[in-house]
Structure 1
């Protein structure tokens, strides 16, 4: 694995840092494609849709290529497992989220044949639907394209 291009680490750093803090890592961020956004829905389907829509609008994935959308979908689900502790449920379980996400696309391996990969990181709060009772959560998902 290319030590300079760890897409999961880049996605996690990007989603956790504010704009000023990101300047220290700008050289690592320049080597990959990055899309970011926020989501605060209590419906899992809307969380997934928000990320997919942002990534497609940014041009990071080719919407007409099923394998790219499929890879993104599985990376999102894997990242959400971390946030929801393995239970893909939010509103149904009386939980609310306020998350930022970062999606990174790059080639983490030195061998060209390994191709491109996509990483999705979520960071924010999750908890009871009562303001102030949330706690931090993070999730990371990586999939090959």
Structure 2
């Protein structure tokens, strides 16, 4: 049950998100049986961040919206990534913080054996800070969950 070194899902999600040419990176991952998508979201409300990522994942066929365990796995990966972005307190507008984030969602099997099944990773990168231009700083978060 070893992780395959060239198929680390978190690393690949971050590489996709930060890539100079994300479309080329996404095509490479898709050739290796991975499914992924990219997007952007900005908000003072965490629920809007979650909704934006879930919508992109469903629209791009990363998860099946009618299969609960897939939506559930994605939700937990998003929340884990948001914990990283918000330093453990998933609060935004209620404490006068706003985010401007790019995101990558990646699905695939990071293990050597197909029987291990798919996992999902959500990578977030952008800014967080007071809702005043120039009062933000960089942030990053990663969430990984099994499907």
TM-score by length of 1: 0.93
Q: Mind listing any 5+ residue stretches in structure 1 that lack a counterpart? A: none
Which of the numbers 40, 43, 49 marks the counterpart of 1:41? Answer: 43
Find the counterpart in structure 1 of residue 70 from structure 2.
Answer: 68
Question: What is the alpha-carbon distance in structure 2 between the residues aligned to residue 63 and residue 23 of structure 1?
Answer: 27
TM-score by length of 2: 0.91
Indicate how the Cα distance of structure 1 residues 6 and 29 shifts in structure 2: closer, same or farther if over 3 A, else same.
Answer: farther
Find the counterpart in structure 1 of residue 10 from structure 2.
Answer: 8
| Matched positions, count | 144
Find the counterpart in structure 2 of residue 144 from structure 1.
Answer: 146
Q: Mind listing any 5+ residue stretches in structure 2 that lack a counterpart? A: none
Which of the numbers 100, 103, 119 marks the counterpart of 2:102? Answer: 100
Find the counterpart in structure 2 of residue 122 from structure 1.
Answer: 124
Whether the 8 Å CA contact 1:5–1:28 is kept in 2: the answer is: no
CA RMSD of aligned residues (A): 1.7
